[in-house]
Structure formats: C-alpha cells, structure tokens
Amino acid sequence: MGRMLNALSSRALELGPARSAETTGHFRSATDDNNVAWLILDRQDKSVNTVDRSVLEELASHIERLEREKPAAIVIRSGKKAGFAAGADINQFVGASKEEIRSSLKDAHQVLDRLAALKTRTVAVIHGHCLGAGLELALACDRRIAVSDATLGFPEVMLGLHPGLGGTFRAPAVADPIEAMTMMLTGRSMPAKRAKSIGLVDAVVEERHVASAVEAAFYGDIRPKSHSMAGKAMGFKPARQVAARTMRKKTAEKAAPENYPAPYKLIDLWEAHGGDEKAMQAAEIDSFAELIETPTSKNLVRVFFLREKMKGLKDGSSGVKHLHVVGAGAMGGEIAAWAAGQGFRVTLGDIQLAPIGKAIASASKMLERALKDPLKVRDALDRLIPDPDGNGIAHADLVIEAAPEKIDLKHKIYADIEPKLKEGALLATNTSALPLADLASGLKDPSRFVGLHFFNPVSRMQLVEIVRHDRISSETERRATAFAAEISRLPAPLNSAPGFLVNRALTPYMAEALKLVDEGIPKERIDKRAEDFGMPMGPIELSDQVGLDIALDVATSLRERLGTDTLPEAPAWLTRMVEEKRLGRKTGAGLYDYDDDGKPKKRDVKALPDDSKDDPDLLDRLILPMLNAVVACLAEGVIEDQEVTDGAMIFGTGFAPFRGGPVHYARERGVDGIVARMNELAKKHGPRFRPHEGWSRLKG
C-alpha cells in the first residue's frame, strides 16, 4: 500500500499508476490497488485553486460516485504547486443579490455536508496556502494532514465578511474554540505547526512522508486532538458569553462596529449558537448574505480587486537577481532586508561600518516577525551581505540609492556608482521628494534611472511608487515595476512631481493638524477624529512617527514649490521643537511623549476638560485637503489611473479601506457637495481650501 500511496501523493501533478483514473473539469481522480480514492483539485486555466460553484458541483458528482463505489478511504489534495486552495472566487459574489447568495451558499453547504457525512474515511492533504473556502473544504474531511510549508487561515474579515462555507462551526469543533475564533476575527494565517498545536490539523509532515501519514490516517493511527476542559466549556452559553465580551473588547481596539461589522456579527453568532451546529450553520448563511451587501464589504471587495489590478501591472520579469543598496539607514536597511527575505541576493553598503551593523541587527528582528520560521530567517540573513567597500555594485542587476535627501550628495553617489554598473543594470533612487529630472541631470545614461519610493516601515507598507522622468526608457519602467511586484509590494507608476502622490496628499493632512494644534485644539481630539473616520493613525501621531524634522522639511519644500496658498505656514513652535531635537518617536519625545516600547502617552478624549477647544469643521479640515491634493495629482497627470490612485492611497497611507479609497469616497459623498464645502472652508480659513479645478473632471 505504501508504494502506491507514495506514487499518488508525491506526484499529485502527475497521478501515478492506479487501478482506475480519469480527469474531469477541475478534478483528476484515481483509485489505487488498495481501493483508496484520490481526488486532485486542479482548476483549469488558473495558477491557483479557488472554490466556486463549478468546483463544488463537480465535487458533488464525485461524492455521489464515491458513495456508490465505497472505497476504503478518500484523499483530497491539490495539483497546484502554490497550495491547496486560495479561498472562494470573489468574482462570483460581485453583483449577486442577497437571495442569490443565500441560495448559492445553501447549495454549497449541502455538498460539504455530504462530504462530511461520508462513511468512508476522508483525508485532506494540505500544502502551501489553504485559506477561506479551501480550509472549509479541508475541515469537511475527517482528517487533515499538513505538509510543513502549509499556512492556514480565514481571511474573509479582510473583505468585510466571516467564513460562509461552514468555517464558523467546523473550525471551533475541531480546534481550540478561542483560537479558531481568533483566526476568523483577525484574518491572520498560521503555519502548519501552530495549526496542529490548536487542533486545526492532525499531523504535520514533510512532503516525502505524506504517503506514510495518509496510511496512518487510513489505519486510525492519526487522531484528532481532544479539546481541553476550557475548550469543552465553550459548548455552554455562559462560558461563551464571558469569552465573547473579551472578544468584543479586543476587536473594538482595532475596528469600530459601525465601520467593520463582520467580526461583531461573528461573535454574536458564536455566542448565541456555538453549541448547536445546525443553528450556527443557518445563522452563518443568513449573516454572510447580509454582510456582503453592506457598504463595508462592497468597498473591501473593491480594495481586493484594486490590489489584484496593481499586482497585474507586472509585465514579465525584472531580471533582477542581485540587488545592491547604497545607504544603510532606516530605509536602506529595511529595503535590503525585505528583498533578502523575498529571495534576492542583496549587498548593503554605506560609507560607515556602524550603520551596516545596526541594519543587519534590525534586519534579523524584522525578518523574524515577517517570516516566522527560523530556517527561512537564517537563509534570508545568508543572502544579506554587508558590503562596506561597495564591491556588489559591479555585480548587481539593480542598485537602489537610499541616502539622505541632499541633491549634491546623491549626485556624488551617482558619479561613483554609474561607471561601475554592469551592462543592463538599473539605478534607482528612494527619494521621497526630490525631482527625478534634477537627480538624473548628471547621469551619462539617464534612461536606466528610476524612482523606487518605498514607505516606512517597508515590511508593513505595501506600496512602492514607480517614479518616471522625461528621459527614462519604457524598459526601465517595466523592469522596475516588475521588481516591486517580485518583492511582494504593490507598484504605482507615476510621473515625477513635488511630493509625488502620497506625500503630496498626506502633507496637507498633517500640516492642517498642526495648524489645529496651534489654534488650541487638543492633539488627542484631532487624532481621535481622524481615527474615527478610519485612518489607521491620527495625523499628530503620524507626524511624530515620520519625524517632525522630516515633516517640517517636506511641508516647507512643498509650500515653496506648489505655492504658499497650498499649505498653512508651519507654526513657530514646530521649528523650535526641531531645533531642540524633540523630533517624535525616534527621540522619545515630540508632540507626544513615548514610553519605553515606543507607544505614545495619550490622554483619553473622554478625559479632556469639558471646556477644551473643538472645531465643528475639524474632520473636513483634515480630510478634504487630502482629497484636493489627490484630485490635483490626477488633473496634473502625476498619476493617470483613478483606481490605482485609490489603491496607492490605501496601501501607502492606510486611507480608510472600508471607504474604498479617496476617489471612490469623494464620488460616494458627492463631488458637488465637496466643492461647495471646500469653498465654505476657504472663506473661513483661507485659500489653502480652495478646490482644485480638477474636481470638474472627477464628475465625468
């Protein structure tokens, strides 16, 4: 039996010899000499498996056949190298009505219920990504064997939803209920070993041992993990009520129910029906169908497609295998470490040894957080090579300069680098504000020069602005865009202009917040109002995070280049703070003071004095200048695609995802109303609120 199982398990892409075998639309099936049936999910014309109606209908036909044939065991696994399944096909939900979705879900549940009810033992073999509906398919099997590279999760909350194909009741039934709920509430995936520790999978093995594990499952030697006493207690409503209160409190720290209703709906379902599978199933279907029609879910689904569109800007390969980074400061060090973590050979240079050593130490910590696997961290650090002499420049396919924002310094660096570049190598700058044309002016071959503007911290901020100039070649832009995608970042191509897109839009938001502080409004109130709107961080805290010196420099530069009417003048006290080196989080004190963990010491807004100052225009004074700058960038051709603009602002600034992006939000709110409101603000507060003429184009 072992030899046959091995042939079938390790060659999922090419089914081994079998007593009978056939290929249907999305499945390949085979039955071996020991009467073990194998179903290999391998979606036609797709690089990854997703689950939709056609997959489930085909699965239903196989289940019907297997009910008749009564094999000794059934094994389900994927024929895709990427993983088991990436979840449901989101396209099937677009434009569907609540009743259509409810009906479709009921049909899907019947298929998985039928799989779960098979008297024959069923085993899911999981490798790579197993997410959402893919995990729900695996949970309908009797046993789950994970290959060591597997990651499992329920990302539905990222779409304003919760699991809809049985995850809400099957996951807590097999895994620790609190851990299962936490997975669904956060959307975070977990590695195979962690999944085994909570009972979500029954065994973790290397690929070469899958056959033996399947055989062990067949003979009953692999058994589900029993719930602890605490886990068993969750079958009773009083225990769930206590746990639900804690879940709501923790969820409220991250997301307000009016903005993100899905996690609260899930908690309600589990609290009410967690001990009754059938009741939970019915409630799950109804709740999912209702959530998918909410503005939050529609906008988050839109954000999903924005992400896919930005990923799709990649055209071919970058040809980059070796990256060299010049400048081992905070940005250069993170860029180098992130690229090494994504599989690239990276050399990191600086004129001094100390920054390189500090960058390598920081890289280790960042990679531990990002990769969560000691072996992967070790391999990444092996690829990250300190290079104080700059020997890697001559071998690099791409050199990224991440030096301080001084044009003379950058020109000097380019003069040293360019003669050393090999044929076909690209030269990039991570400048956040300097004009690309000015930077390229001294280059002998400016056609291979490009802006690659990363955001801090690189490990969390997904956007990279791909900045053109008038002498860049189309091939350079194509390769730079491909490189950004290859390191799992989202590219946004745009033309060089003051502040590019993100800094152009964020600066008025931050500058107006400082103006409000100057008027006597408590900084905590300003931040809270922005966070209630949906921003991940208020503008005062953001200014401290960026660094008050950098915020002041960028605001001053933009004011000079765009005109004094575009931004408020920086308060005199801000200049004094910078002179006194009270720069924000990096110095432990700025507009806020910071504790040893780098967290700001904030007063609760509810604790502010009753007579503390407020402004009824506060939120619009923060948000509308940001929207105005975005409209200006579109009108002036800084960026051309409105959807990519929304994606860039969401992934580069954290602009409230549930609002669908600034352009989408403006249209939903009403362009005429915004223009009228900005004219009102201009009369009260000055010409910086004057609406850009580009608003008229947004109506089209």
pLDDT tens for residues 343-385? 999 999 999 999 999 999 999 999 999 988 899 999 999 999 9
Residue 4, pLDDT above cutoff 80: no
Distance, CA of 332 to CA of 337 (rounded, Å)? 9
Sign of CA dihedral 421, 431, 589, 561: positive
What's the pLDDT tens digit per position in 408-445? 999 999 999 999 999 999 999 999 889 999 999 999 99
Q: Where are the domains of the chain?
A: 2-297, 322-495, 502-638+670-698
Q: Distance between CA 443 and CA 100 in Å, rounded?
A: 60
What pLDDT is stored for residue 17 in this prediction?
42
The answer to whether 156 is a known catalytic residue is yes
Q: Residue 221: pLDDT band by 50, 70, 90 thresholds?
A: confident
Tell me the per-residue pLDDT of 647-683, one tens digit each, with 9 for 90 and over.
999 999 999 999 999 999 999 999 999 999 999 999 9
Average confidence (pLDDT) over 75-86: 95
Over pLDDT 90: what percentage of the chain?
A: 85
What average pLDDT does this structure show over 18-36? 78
Average pLDDT of 617-628? Answer: 98
* pLDDT surpasses 60 at 8: no
238-273 per-position pLDDT tens digit? 999 999 999 999 999 989 999 999 999 999 999 999
Residue 248 burial (CB < 10 Å; 0-12/13-18/19+)? Answer: middle
Query: Lowest mean pLDDT: which of 1-5, 27-31, 58-62, 441-445?
Result: 1-5
Crossing angle between the packed helical segments 502-518 and 523-533, to the nearest 10 degrees: 140
Q: Is the dihedral of CA 555, 556, 558, 563 positive or negative?
A: positive
Instruction: Tell me which range, 92-106, 182-196, 206-220, is most confidently predicted by mean pLDDT.
Output: 182-196
Task: Characterise 27 by phi-psi region: left (phi > 0), alpha (psi -120 to 50), beta (else).
Answer: beta
Q: So what's the pLDDT on residue 12?
A: 44
pLDDT of 524 over the 50 cut: yes
pLDDT exceeds cutoff 60 at 14 = no
Average pLDDT over residues 514-531: 96
Residue 200 tokens, joined: 């979500």
Q: What is the pLDDT of residue 318?
A: 97
Backbone angles phi, psi at 108, to 5 degrees: -65, -40
5 pLDDT band (50/70/90 cuts)? very low
Q: What is the pLDDT of residues 189-201, one digit of tens each?
A: 999 999 999 999 9
Q: Mapping DSSP to helix (H, G, I), strand (E, B) and coil, where does residue 463 land?
A: strand
pLDDT at position 11 is: 43
d(Cα 419, Cα 398) in Å, to the nearest integer?
14
Q: Is the peptide bond before 457 cis (omega within 30 degrees of 0)?
A: yes
Which member of 22, 99, 156, 475 is catalytic?
156
What are the tens digits of pLDDT across the range 272-300? 999 899 999 999 999 999 999 999 999 99
Distance CA 469, CA 476 (A): 11
CATH for 322-495, among 3.30.300.90, 3.30.70.100, 3.40.50.300, 3.40.50.720? Answer: 3.40.50.720
* Contact between residue 483 and residue 325 where contact means Cβ atoms under 8 Å apart: no
Q: What is the pLDDT of residue 20?
A: 54
Query: What is the C-alpha separation between 28 and 44, in angstroms, rounded?
Result: 11
* pLDDT at 130 exceeding the cut of 80: yes
Task: Decide if 381 contacts 367 (C-beta within 8 A).
Answer: yes
- The 3-state DSSP class for residue 317 equals coil
Q: Which pLDDT band holds residue 13 (cuts at 50, 70, 90)?
A: very low
Mean pLDDT of 178-196: 96
Provide CB contacts within 8 A for 91, sequence distance 6+: 52
* Active-site position among 69, 136, 519, 531: 136
Taking the CA atoms of residue 501, residue 505, residue 508 and residue 511 in that order, the dihedral angle to the nearest 10 degrees is -80
Q: Give the confidence band of 230 by pLDDT, cuts at 50, 70, 90.
A: confident
- Residues with Cβ within 8 Å of 167's Cβ and at least 6 positions away in sequence, in order, are 132, 135, 136, 139, 154, 156, 184
pLDDT at 224: 85
Confidence class of residue 37 from pLDDT cuts 50, 70 and 90? very high
502-638+670-698 is classed in which CATH architecture? Orthogonal Bundle (1.10)
Catalytic residue status for 277 = no
Which amino acid, one-letter code, is at 575? T
Q: Residue 22: what pLDDT?
A: 67
User: What's the first-to-final CA gap in the chain, in angstroms?
Assistant: 67
**Over 50: is that where the pLDDT of 41 sits?**
yes
Beta strands in 577-686 (DSSP E): none
Mean pLDDT estimate for the chain: 93
Check residue 91 and give its pLDDT. 85
Which one is the CATH code of 2-297: 1.10.3720.10, 3.40.50.300, 3.90.226.10, 2.130.10.30?
3.90.226.10
Cα 230 to Cα 178, 184, 241, 269, 539: the distances in Å are 9, 19, 13, 19, 43
